[in-house]
Every structure is written in C-alpha cells, then in structure tokens.
Amino acid sequence: MTNDITLEISQRTAFADGLSFGDSGPYERLRGRALHAVDPDAAAQAGIVDLDKAPRNADGKVEFASDVLILKPLDPARGNRRIFYDWGNRGNLRALQFFNDATGSNDPRRPEHAGNGYLFRRGYSFVWSAWEADLLPGNDRVVLDVPTVTDNGGPITGVVRQEFIPESLTFCYPLSGRASTRSYPTVSLDTTKARLTKRRYPNDPRIEIAPERWQFAQVLAGFGVAGEGAAAEIGIAPSDTHVYLPNGFEPGWIYEIVYQARDPIVGGLGHTTVRDLIAFLKHEDSDAAGVANPLGPIEKAYGWGRSQTGRSIRDFVYNGFNVDAKGRKVFDGLLPHVSGAGLMWMNHRFASIVSPAGQQYEDHFNIADRFPFSYAETTDHLTGKTDAILKRPESDPLILHTQTASEYWQRKGSLVHTDTQGNDLAQPEGVRVYMWSSSQHFADPMIGAPRKGVCQHFVNPVQTSMLFRAMLDAMDRWASDGTSPPDSRIPKRSDGTLQSYDDWKANFPSIAGVALTTGPASLPLFDFGPDVEKGLLTKQPPDVVDADGYAIMVPAVDEDGNDSAGVRAPMVQAPLGTYTGWNVRAPGFGTGANHEFTGSYIPFPDTVEERSFTNDPRRAVQERYATPEDYVAAVRAAAERLVAEGLMLEEDVERCAEQARNWGRPRHLTRL
C-alpha cells in the first residue's frame, strides 16, 4: 500500500492586499488541512514508536491530519518553481519575521506581514504546516492531530517527568508545563503515587514536597454574582492534567513532577507529515482525491527551522525521512538554525515534544542532546558508538547549518563541528557551518530598547536577519547549479579560536561590576533506561553515567569581549558594546546561572573620562567613532565586506546603514 494525502483548502484569499512583489507579481493565501493515511507496516514508516498500536481505517491505514498554510504566486509561471518550507516553532510561523523582517503573525494576510518582501520577490512558494503532535489550537498556530494508542483497546501507561521554572509566583501549571500544549493525563489523582520536588540548581538534591501539600487540580477563575461588591473569585477543581500548589510555585526554584501517565500519542508521525506533504507538492500533479496540486511544477524544495525546529530538521535527516515512500528525495537543501548539537525526542512514548533541549539551568536532564551530534561521522568516546547525522548519500540534502554564540554556551554548539572530545572535525562536502558571532539565539529583527528581564545584563541586540537572506540565496545557487557557498566560518581549536571555558575566562576583559557566566551548559552521559532505543524512557529522572560527559568548547574573544571568529554581523564589526551569547540570572531567579538562550549587551563607556573613572579596559565610544556619522560609516563598511564575502546581500547595506543612524537607537544606550 502507498501513503495517501488529500489537501483540503478551506480559505483562498489575496495576500498582502494584492500587493505585487516585483517579477513574481501578487500572491495568494491558502489555508487548510493535509489529510494523511499511511501504511503502518510499510518500510517508509518503520521505526515510528507505537504506530502498530494506532487505530486503522477500513483500508488498514493510520489516519492523521495537519494544518497547512501556503503563500504562492497568483500566477505560478511567475514564481521560481521552488518551495520554501517553514517547519514552524511550537506551531508558530517564524520565517517571515527573520527572512522578511516582517511583523510576526500566525495568520499572515496584510502588507506588514510581508515585511521587505524578500521571499516573495524571489518567487518562492511559501509553505508552513504542523508537525508537532502535542499542541492545542489557539493563537492561530498550526496543529497536528495524530492517534492516541492503546494496548488492544486498553490504556497504555508510563512514567512522565516535567519541569516548571516560574518567573513569578504561580499556583497552577498544566502537566505539560505550557498552556499551549496537551498534557498526558495522570492515571491517579492520588498524590502519594507521584512525586513533586524542587531544587535551586539542576544538580542539587531534590527536595520533596509532601503529597498532602499539593494536588492534581486546576484553578478556575471567574467572577461572583453581579452587583454591588462583586469580586473576582477562583475555584479549585480536581484535574488529571494540572498540578496545583496552594502556597505557590516560587521564582528561583526548579520544580519537577514525576507521575504515571496514560494515553500516549504517535508523536513520531510528525516527520511523516512533513515528508509526505512536501513530496506531494514537489512531485505529484494531484492528491488522493484527484484535486490538482496548487503549486504547479516545482523543481527544488528547501526547508528552514530555528531552535526546536532546527533540531527537528536534523532528526528528520538522521532518521531517513528525506526520501519519500516512493524513493524520491524530498528536500534539496535544509537550513537548520540555532539547533545546537541536538536532535528531537518526539519519537518516544510520552515524549514532551514542546520541551526545550537541555541548558545549564533549564531542562538540563532532557533527552534531546544525544549522539550523534555532528553531520560528519565520528565515534562517541564514552560509548564506542560510531554514527553521523548524514549517512545516506543518495537522499541526504545540502546543509547550511547556522548558529549563534548562544548555542556554544547553552546548546553544546561546538559538538556540531568537533568530535566528542572537542577536537576539530571536518564536515562532509555537502555541509557548511557558520557561527554568527556575538549574537543570541532569538535575534529579533524588530527589537526595541534594551531590557534586562530576569537577567543581570541587558539583552543582546545584535541584528542578524540580513544573514538569513544571503544564506538562502547561497543555498539556491548551490542546489541549482553547483555554485559552492562560502566556506564554513566557525571557531576552531586548531587556531585557538575555540577554547575551554577556563581559557575563555582568562581572556575576557575585566569589566567592573559585570557578572560572568560560570561556564557553558555541560552534557553528561545520561541513562534513561534499557529500552531508550525502543522509544521507552523508563528512568525519570535519568541516571548520570558520566558527569564529565562530552567536551563543550566556547568561542575565543577579542579585546572587547566579542567573539573573534565566525561571521561578524555589521554591529559586531563596528561595536558599541560587548555582545555575548550568555546572560546570567538575577538574584531571586536562579542567581548566577545562565538564562535560557539569552545573550548580553554590556555597553562601552561613552567617553574617555567615563572609561578612566570606571577603569574599563575597553575603548570608549568616542575613541572609536568621533561622530554618529562615523559610526554609520563603520557599519556600512562592515556590511560591504560581508557582501564581498558572499555573506550578505547588496540590498541590505543601506538597511544596515539606516538602522545605525543616531548611534543605532533604540537598540543601544549610547548617550553621546
């Protein structure tokens, strides 16, 4: 049996009020669902955990459905015959923000959602769909509906672990940790059969919260009887999908619940829906219902995802999903961004797909970071296993892997291009790796004035969106006519630009009052139980087998504390401060630990007098740029260098110069 897909379009409207995008002309917006039916016994679905336990239709196939959004040229002949697929982060559309500098939206319709129009001026058919099976509808996010599985009609149960890290006093959490995400119900409301703990730091002993002090319950909020004196009121109701702590979950603590859950879903179908949708749009004339493919002829397909979806891309390729059920290559090129060295963990029973990968403080014991870490073949020195993400030459896509400084500090980014002991590792010819120096994980193109949140330093403001556009153009040339992209730009141990934390710390400038990171997130070797390869995590939390684990290296810095190697964006080449990939939590919020994927901005002293008084080793702003116009000129020159190196587009030079006017406000704090 073959896999079936039917594309049901429920909305078909003009996009961006009919705005015309250069040679591509106007675009139209299609929204609907992809209905799938797959043969659970076919080789194309081999290895999907619990697929054999899913209900089947009359044809013996397993059915599931994914939300889909398509933005395509109204006249397909004016497009470039290429698909650009946005994997979508936790059901949210991200590519238009980063490639088009657009206003973020999960329901793009208006001109502001097109931004500068880059993807549309290039003529791409833009596709976005759901792949994550544990999301709930809401905020216009895309969702994937997959079957719940049973054991011959009876419930399947198993252990589930989830962390909660509040930033304000909180009384109730969904068991998934997020309002947007389905929770696996607890088998029993009896809290003596579960365990709720708290601890200050990830490796601290867990402090048990007595069963009588918490409940499986939900806080219901509303209002009393209308009239004089009416006040807001709450109710506490038993719930098999929520945890309630009457005294509140306090900021500055890591809470963890371990409980027996029921009703797992077939999360591994997430890769199948992406594979079969793109294969249909790329290769087929019509769907299973005989309805014409809405895109017309397609020559190439490229995919992009950031963070969680960057990990999903790597996992998709590693597990062999870049070849469809008919043996055809799916994506010609993939661009995983800020994934670090992680993979996904959705093809496990009771997987928490929404959860972030492990960091220094947050979600430290998650399974996402596991061997292999690199696209190149290498041997795990702890287990003796040899493996690689790319190992199927006939179907492996071209890869442009990009990551920021944050991934080296929080996401084990060095392991993408080193072996497990930290030595440089040459990548396959079809791979390029680029570090975007001194930038942070979520580099919002539309960031406002500097802020700190729960961190000790201002959040990193370095803009990198111009680099995305150059990457996609480079990928298209590479896949279309074999024109090689720029060589990888990464820190290397062999030339001293990739260092141990101790060496990094010895070279970072000593700035009065600046709290330094205590180091990158470590990666111990974990034991999740004997059946982990079968998708069953029976040890929760996992045992630590080797606390030293894998070698995590970080980028060396220059005299200002900015990364010396990699792709230095215009703001980094012409800095107004020290920009790092790490930021530390403020007192009361996990004091001193690295904060999520947040970077820092530590402003330079403005004047020579300020520098002298504060004994700051870094040159003052006025020593670098005599006037605001000098700063603009420095940014422009940096942008032009990147254009010459093939790492930026000519059209972005003036954009960078314009954003640099008036000392780059509002991103910067310079008071000159």
Residue 424 φ then ψ, to 5°: -50, 140
Which pLDDT band holds residue 356 (cuts at 50, 70, 90)?
A: confident
pTM for this one?
A: 0.97
Distance (Å, whole) CA 165 – CA 410: 17
Distance (Å, whole) CA 43 – CA 555: 43
3-state DSSP of 540-601? CCCEEEECCCCCCCEECECCCCCECCCECCHHHHCCCEEEECCCEECCCCCCCCECCCCCEE
What pLDDT does 230 receive?
55
Q: SS3 of 481, please? A: helix
- In which region does residue 138 sit, left (phi positive, over 0), alpha (psi from -120 to 50) or beta (all else)? left
Residues 391-405 have a mean pLDDT of 98
* 241 and 282 co-located in one domain: no
Look at the chain and report how many structural domains it folds into: 2
Percentages (nearest 5) of helix, strand, coil residues in the chain? 20, 25, 55
Residues 285-307 have a mean pLDDT of 95
CA distances from 452 to 192, 361, 456, 459, 525 (A): 40, 18, 7, 6, 33
**Does residue 441 lie within any of the structural domains?**
yes
Residue 571 φ then ψ, to 5°: -65, -25
Which pLDDT band holds residue 1 (cuts at 50, 70, 90)?
A: low
* 41 and 78 co-located in one domain: yes
**Does residue 652 lie within any of the structural domains?**
no
In tens, the pLDDT along 263-284 reads 999 999 999 999 999 999 999 9
* 329 and 247 co-located in one domain: no
* 129 and 163 co-located in one domain: no
Q: Which two tokens stand for residue 177?
A: 């940790």
* 37 and 172 co-located in one domain: no
Checking if the pLDDT of 128 tops 90, the result is yes
What pLDDT does 226 receive?
54
In tens, the pLDDT along 129-142 reads 999 999 999 999 99
Closest of 490, 527, 589 to residue 167, by C-alpha: 589
- Exposed e or buried b per residue across 262-291, where buried means at least 16 C-beta atoms within 10 angstroms of its C-beta: bebbbbbbbbbbbbbbbbbbbeeeebbeee
Distance (Å, whole) CA 216 – CA 527: 28
Residue 157 φ then ψ, to 5°: -125, 165
Amino acid occupying residue 112: E
In tens, the pLDDT along 200-235 reads 999 999 999 999 999 999 999 875 555 555 567 889
Distance (Å, whole) CA 131 – CA 302: 16
What pLDDT does 55 receive?
97
Which pLDDT band holds residue 444 (cuts at 50, 70, 90)?
A: confident
Of 239, 262, 285, which one is at a domain's C-terminal end? 262
In tens, the pLDDT along 451-483 reads 999 999 999 999 999 999 999 999 999 999 999
Closest of 320, 336, 326 to residue 282, by C-alpha: 326
**Does residue 529 lie within any of the structural domains?**
no
Which pLDDT band holds residue 672 (cuts at 50, 70, 90)?
A: confident
* 389 and 471 co-located in one domain: yes
Q: SS3 of 8, please? A: strand
**Does residue 540 lie within any of the structural domains?**
no
Residue 100 φ then ψ, to 5°: -110, 0
* 183 and 122 co-located in one domain: no
**Does residue 504 lie within any of the structural domains?**
no
Of 463, 481, 499, which one is at a domain's C-terminal end? 481
* 23 and 162 co-located in one domain: no
What pLDDT does 523 receive?
94
What pLDDT does 233 receive?
85
Of 459, 481, 503, which one is at a domain's C-terminal end? 481
Q: CB under 8 Å to 232, separation ≥6 — which residues?
A: 221, 222, 223, 224
**Does residue 493 lie within any of the structural domains?**
no
Distance (Å, whole) CA 559 – CA 604: 12
Closest of 624, 634, 622, 632 to residue 671, by C-alpha: 622
**Does residue 414 lie within any of the structural domains?**
yes
CA 538 to chain centre: 26
Query: Around Cβ 307, how many Cβ atoms within 10 Å?
Result: 25
Looking at residue 330, what DSSP letter applies? -
Rounded percentage of the chain residues whose pLDDT exceeds 90: 94
In tens, the pLDDT along 298-352 reads 999 999 999 999 999 999 999 999 999 999 999 999 999 999 999 998 999 999 9
In tens, the pLDDT along 171-206 reads 999 999 999 999 999 999 999 999 999 999 999 999
CA distances from 218 to 157, 174, 290, 352 (A): 22, 8, 47, 20
Query: Around Cβ 173, how many Cβ atoms within 10 Å?
Result: 23
Q: What is the mean pLDDT of the chain?
A: 96
* 253 and 113 co-located in one domain: no
Residue 488 φ then ψ, to 5°: -55, 145
* 298 and 399 co-located in one domain: yes
In tens, the pLDDT along 22-40 reads 999 999 999 999 999 999 9
Count of residues in the chain: 672
Residue that has been written with the tokens 């208006």 in this structure: 110
Residues 65-74 have a mean pLDDT of 98
Closest of 264, 319, 316, 342 to residue 536, by C-alpha: 264
Residues 95-121 have a mean pLDDT of 97
Burial class (CB in 10 A: 0-12, 13-18, 19+), 626: exposed
Residue 225 φ then ψ, to 5°: -65, 135
* 292 and 428 co-located in one domain: yes
Residue 346, domain extent: 4-147+266-481
* 79 and 206 co-located in one domain: no
**Does residue 559 lie within any of the structural domains?**
no
CATH number at residue 451: 3.40.50.1820
Residues 543-553 have a mean pLDDT of 94
Distance (Å, whole) CA 215 – CA 195: 11
What pLDDT does 543 receive?
94
Distance (Å, whole) CA 612 – CA 426: 45
Checking if the pLDDT of 639 tops 60, the result is yes
- Exposed e or buried b per residue across 442-477, where buried means at least 16 C-beta atoms within 10 angstroms of its C-beta: bbebebeebeeebbbbbbbbbbbbbbbbbbbebbbe
